[in-house]
Structure 1
Amino acid sequence: MSEELTYEAAYNELQQIAAEIENETVSVDVLAERVKRAAVLIEFCQQKLRATETEVNNIIRQMEGNKEGK
């Protein structure tokens, strides 16, 4: 893949895969492939959310530290 995957793109692809499975539009021949792709996308989204949470918490701690220093 030439462009970097974003959270939004991964989430949208997950929604599409879920809809295909729910609507039974995925053939049995590609079902395992779709489930594997979904697992990769879920892991990516979880990592992205954890990284964002860590970053936000660091920013909050910095802001609180700046408040206390004034």
Structure 2
Amino acid sequence: MSDQIKSYDAAISRIEEIVALLESGEKGMDELSELVKEASNLVNQCKEKLRSTEEEINQALNNN
């Protein structure tokens, strides 16, 4: 999976997939580590997207 997800919804979907994989207990230790790293990166991307969206909304509201 690429480092940059194009949309917030795609990132959330991938995080949900990773959670399901982690909960299944079917992955080996090496795969678990990579999945957790990927999920962490996706969570950070989602946080940044939410932060920037909140900023845009606040700017739009303050300009009216």
TM tier, smaller = 0.7 to 0.9
CA root-mean-square deviation: 1.6
Equivalences for residues 1-70 of structure 1 within 5 A: 1=2, 5-63=6-64
TM-score by length of 2: 0.86
Q: Percent identity?
A: 34
How far apart are the structure 2 equivalents of 1:16 and 1:31?
13
* Structure 1 residue ranges, 4+ long, deviating more than 3 angstroms after superposition: none
**Which structure's CA Rg is the greater one?**
1
Structure 2: segments with no counterpart, 5+ residues: none
Structure 1: segments with no counterpart, 5+ residues: 64-70
Q: Tell me how many residue pairs correspond in the alignment.
A: 62
Compute the displacement of 1:5 (Å). 1.7
